[in-house]
Structure formats: C-alpha cells, structure tokens
A and B are shown apart, each in its own frame.
Chain A
Amino acid sequence: MSIDTETARRVAKLARIKVEDDQLPALAGEFSAILDFIEQLNEVDVEGVEPMTSVTPQRLKRRDDVVTDGDQQAAVLKNAPDAREGFFAVPKVVE
C-alpha cells in the first residue's frame, strides 16, 4: 500500500506531531514500507475468528467505588511545565 504525502500530513496532524513539509515524502515512504510488511496479514483466513480483547481469560477486577486517595494537589502539579494557583497552565484555548 502506497501512502502519499497528503496522507502522511493528515496522520501527523492526527497524531499531533509537527512534521515539516520537506520531511513528509520520506515519512510517507517509511509508512508505505511498514504497511507493505503489515499487508501480509491479508493472507490469513480470519473468517469467524474473534478479535482478541484480553490475552488471559479473566474478568477485570473491580474495586469498591470509594475514595482511596486525595488531597495531593502539590504532588500532582509538581512536574508540570507551567502550574499556577493550583492549576495546570496552558496557552489560551477560548477566544
């Protein structure tokens, strides 16, 4: 499967990774090579086979719906690139 430059641009946008225009053709080439490799899966007869959701046949454990933790504002914000007045700070989102 051949990926064109426009598709590469769209995927980069969806992934929120800035890719310069002059890098797009090379990226599209790499995607094409990887997708060609993946295309082998089309040889497999998967008719009637369920997609795997869990590798071990177990129900996910549930816990009681109670508060187990809290009051950790300082710890939560400790690693933020920009934290102000108890909040994460980001560029203006709403005009």
Chain B
Amino acid sequence: MTDLTKLTIAEARDAMRKGDTTSAEITQACLTAIEGAGALGAFVHHTPEIATEQAAVADARIKTGDAPDMCGIPLGIKDLFCTKGVPSQAASGILEGFKPEYESTVTSQLFDAGAVMLGKLNMDEFAMGSSNETSVYGNAVNPWRRGNDDAALTPGGSSGGSASAVAADLCLAATGTDTGGSIRQPAAFVGITGLKPTYGRVSRWGIVAFASSLDQAGPMTKDVRDSAIMLQTMCGHDPKDSTSADLAVPDFEAALTGDIKGKTIGIPKEYRMDGMPEEIEKLWSDGTAMLKDAGAVIKDISLPHTQYALPAYYVIAPAEASSNLARYDGVRFGHRAKLAQGDGITEMYEKTRAEGFGPEVQRRVMIGTYVLSAGFYDAYYNRARRVRTLIKQDFETVFADGVDGILTPATPSAAFGLGEMTDADPIQMYLNDVFTVTVNLAGLPGISVPAGLDKQGLPLGLQLIGRPWEEADLLNVAYTLEGAAGFVAKPTKWW
C-alpha cells in the first residue's frame, strides 16, 4: 500500500482488519508527513513516542479480532482538549507550560477505543477567531493556494490546525470544537467534512471552556462516513458534564443509506445575503438540485431572526468567556507575570492577564465584562438571551412544519489570505460565521460538506442543519449530497 496517510478512517479500519497494513505503518507514515509539513503550522506539540506506543497496543488489539472502529487510527487533537501530561494551551500564552493531570472525556473515549494521538493542533487563542491568526504559536496555513499564486491563505478558524492537518493528509482525522462555526468554517475552507453535533451530544469535560452554552466538540474528517464513525466514539453521556445528554446513541455509520426520498429540505431565504459571491449562490442552487434529484422535497422557508444571530452571539459568547476566563489569574496554572517591588495580588492579576492573553481575547473578555456589568446587563445580556430564544423558535417552527433538514452555504467566501483582514475592524472577521452561528445559538447539529471549487481553485462548502439529536439523519443527507457533489480535489503539495 502506498500513501497510507491518504486513507480514510473506514479504509484504514478495513485494511488493518484484513491485515493489509498496520497501525504502526500508518502512524509512522503520518509522523513522517508531519515532519515535512512544518510550513503548515498545523501541529504545535508533537507526541511521536505516545503515537508509536499507542499504535503498537492497537495492532495487538486488532490481531485479537475484537477491535473498535477507531482502533489504530492516527489522529490530531486540537490544543483545546486537555491531554494528560501533554501541553494543552488553547493556543494561549497564559497556559504556557500547562500539562494537565487529567484527560478530557472525548480524548479518553478515543484512546480507550484504540485511537492514536500524533500531537496537538494549532487553533485561534481560546478558540476566538475565524482565521487561526490569534494563536500564540503563529498562523496555521491552508494547504490550498489560489492557482499559481503562492500567497499563504488561512485554513479558517478556530480549528485551523485541525483543518490544515486533515486536508494535507498529516493525519487521518482530527478533533475540533465549534462555538460559532469553528469546525464548519475551517472544514469548508480546506475541502473536508466537519460536524458540530447537537449541544449536549458530546461531553465538554476537559475541553478548555470558551462559551459554555455554545461550545461543542466534533469530528473533522476526510469524508462523511468518517465523521459518522468518529462521532460514534466521541459522543455519549458523561456524568462529569451536567449538560451532557443521557440519550441513547444510534449507529451513525449504519444510517448512511444514501436514501433521502421524501425528506423535506428547507432553503432559508434569509441566508441569501446582499453581496454574496455568485459562485456561492450557484453552489447553493446546485446543491439544492442534487438533493432534489435524490428524491428530497425542496421547500422555501423563512428563519426571520437570522440577521440578529451574530450580534446576539457577540454578546453571549464574550459574556460567557469573561466568566470562564476569570480562572486565568496566575495562581493555579499557567503564566504568572514577574512582579515589581510593592505589587500586590491585584497587580499580579492585571499584569498576568495583560501578558498572557492576546489582543482578541482581551477584547472579548472586556466586551463580556461590559455587557454583564451593572446597568448594562438587561440592555445587552438579557436582550441577547431573549433574541436567542427567538432564533431557536425560528428553527422549531420550520421543523414543526415538517422540515427534516436545512441547506445553506457554509461560508460567505472561500479562504482569504493570511493578513488580509488585519486592518479590517473586528466585525468584518466576525461576519465569517454568519451562516454557522445560528446553529450554535439554537443548539442544533450542523455539518459542512465540500461541494465544489471556486474560479481560483479553492474549495467551497455547503452546510446542512438537522433537527436536535438527529445527527444520524443529518449524516445520511450529507452522505447523499457528498455522493452527488463528487468532490475529490486535493491541494497540490507545496510544503
């Protein structure tokens, strides 16, 4: 077998079970690929010793004939996940040197199933960003380029390292997290599949918190089947996360029948934005036609509060972040500023946080502090939470009217150049999440599927949104769309 790094999870699983290859071989191929891919800035902490050891254990387990689906599969892990004894910094200077004494529930479940950790992946600091440019490690870079132009493009964010690593075949799949679009937007920017599950489907325990009512972890994979397989292992009830749902987990891979006859797919008119590039408009209508050809009933729908999702998000997410990030005080873990003669504990807090947090994180913590402060709590925070209720009701109404899934573009543009947004005001960057953020506010499952290339040769994605807890159905619609779109393009290696 050549090019073991290009295997999907399903292909690798089947090949290992047949004895055609081993986890040790695939893992070594990935480690070699990572060695040669420093220019992508995807892997920020390398764990070859752990990977080699886990692969050996996985191979022994596969030989017994009783190995789970993820056994022996080499993965990259977003730096937001706490991994025992391995740096877990959320790409922030304030967690420099932090090595957790515990393992997140998601990574525990993956490793218990025999998955292999190649290392930790780059991301925006505390998952706040849409371009991976706020990372303390420096930028992650998109393996795709515009034609022959060698300008470096963003892999999106916040799960930019995960996106870059999967698209460049440095690992078979990666974990991501999504608070406003941080799995789906980068997946779309690099031509891979990214799934944000229903809020509560995957345990948040041991994942560095950004906005707890919105955060949800999910798989970033080479195709829809792999997302189904990986989600199966990541999800399930966890007593350590009180918002984790105690619901039965269906067999997601078995749900991939490709039969969506009679399913009703909604096309929301509010997602047709002014100034939307024609290519995205076309991609969306092509995708609609593909689902129709597959037997789905297409229905025009309205989600009237869509335009208020981003402003509501930029109250709620910073408010929760200001509270969650209060723990970074220089006392229990991470960075502590050097103090001057006579400095007390307040100076220690203020200097530590000024040195440890980057500009975007500082901005959001302060905005959150402001909207929660006395006199503004009702006007901003409570109003945003009321609007959030209305946004969720929009979805409930269309689902009650018989809509099974909703098709939208994943992003308002293809990947942009690193540094291109530096001079823009922060709002311009926030607009990247305009199609994805509603899904977090409503707690729904959403998946980004690569569906085509723009005229510069960059991948574009479509997003499907499902009913709560119906990831199995959602994955099946995504699987059907994937089959019809037939996206097989890969970036040309330059790194």
Q: State which of B307, B373, B380, B390 has its C-beta within 8 Å of the C-beta of A14.
A: B373
Q: Which residue of B lies closest to A48 (CB)?
A: B386
Contact flag A52-B388 (CB < 8 Å), given A15-B322, A33-B427, A81-B334: yes
Contact flag A44-B308 (CB < 8 Å), given A82-B336, A93-B344: yes
Residues of the A chain whose Cβ atoms lie less than 8 Å from the Cβ of B311: 37-41
Q: A43 to B367, alpha carbons, bound, how many Å?
A: 21
B372-410 toward A: CB 8 Å interface, digit per residue (1/0)? 010000001011111111101000000000000000000
Q: A82 to B198, alpha carbons, bound, how many Å?
A: 40
Q: State which of A7, A49, A63, A81 has its C-beta within 8 Å of the C-beta of B239.
A: A63
B345 contacts A93, CB within 8 Å? yes
Asked whether any CB of chain B lies closer than 8 Å to the CB of A84, the reply is no
B350 contacts A41, CB within 8 Å? no
B385 contacts A56, CB within 8 Å? no
Asked whether any CB of chain B lies closer than 8 Å to the CB of A30, the reply is yes
Q: A51 to B244, alpha carbons, bound, how many Å?
A: 21
Residue from A3, A35, A52 with most neighbouring chain B CB atoms (10 Å): A52
Asked whether any CB of chain A lies closer than 8 Å to the CB of B246, the reply is yes
Residues of the B chain whose Cβ atoms lie less than 8 Å from the Cβ of A8: 366
Residues of the B chain whose Cβ atoms lie less than 8 Å from the Cβ of A93: 344-345
B353 contacts A17, CB within 8 Å? yes
A31 contacts B383, CB within 8 Å? no
CB distance from A12 to the nearest CB of B (A): 6
**A interface residues, tally (CB under 8 Å):** 51
Contact flag A79-B332 (CB < 8 Å), given A63-B239, A90-B345: yes
Residue from B351, B362, B382 with most neighbouring chain A CB atoms (10 Å): B362
Q: A56 to B467, alpha carbons, bound, how many Å?
A: 12
A78 contacts B101, CB within 8 Å? yes
**B interface residues, tally (CB under 8 Å):** 74
Per DSSP, chain A at the interface is loop
Asked whether any CB of chain A lies closer than 8 Å to the CB of B271, the reply is no
B243 contacts A60, CB within 8 Å? yes
CB distance from B254 to the nearest CB of A (A): 25
Interface members, chain B 322-369 (any A CB < 8 Å): 322, 326, 329-336, 339, 343-351, 353-354, 357, 362-363, 365-367, 369
A77-95 toward B: CB 8 Å interface, digit per residue (1/0)? 0111110000010111100
A61 contacts B239, CB within 8 Å? yes
Q: State which of B200, B335, B347, B390 has its C-beta within 8 Å of the C-beta of A58.
A: B200
Residues of the B chain whose Cβ atoms lie less than 8 Å from the Cβ of A3: 370
Asked whether any CB of chain A lies closer than 8 Å to the CB of B71, the reply is no
Residues of the B chain whose Cβ atoms lie less than 8 Å from the Cβ of A11: 366, 369-370, 373
Q: A61 to B425, alpha carbons, bound, how many Å?
A: 42
Q: Which residue of A lies closest to B304 (CB)?
A: A44
Residues of the B chain whose Cβ atoms lie less than 8 Å from the Cβ of A37: 310-311, 314, 427, 430
Give me the interface of A with B, judged by CB distance under 8 Å. Answer: 3, 7-8, 11-12, 14-19, 27, 30-31, 33-35, 37-44, 46, 49-56, 58, 60-61, 63, 72, 75-76, 78-82, 88, 90-93
| 9 A-B interface contacts by CB (under 8 A) | A11-B370, A19-B354, A35-B370, A43-B308, A49-B389, A50-B389, A51-B382, A60-B242, A80-B333
Give me the interface of B with A, judged by CB distance under 8 Å. Answer: 97-101, 198-200, 213, 239, 242-246, 305, 307-308, 310-312, 314-315, 322, 326, 329-336, 339, 343-351, 353-354, 357, 362-363, 365-367, 369-371, 373, 380, 382-390, 392, 425-427, 430, 441-443, 468
Closest 4 CB pairs of A and B: A55-B443, A51-B385, A81-B336, A79-B333
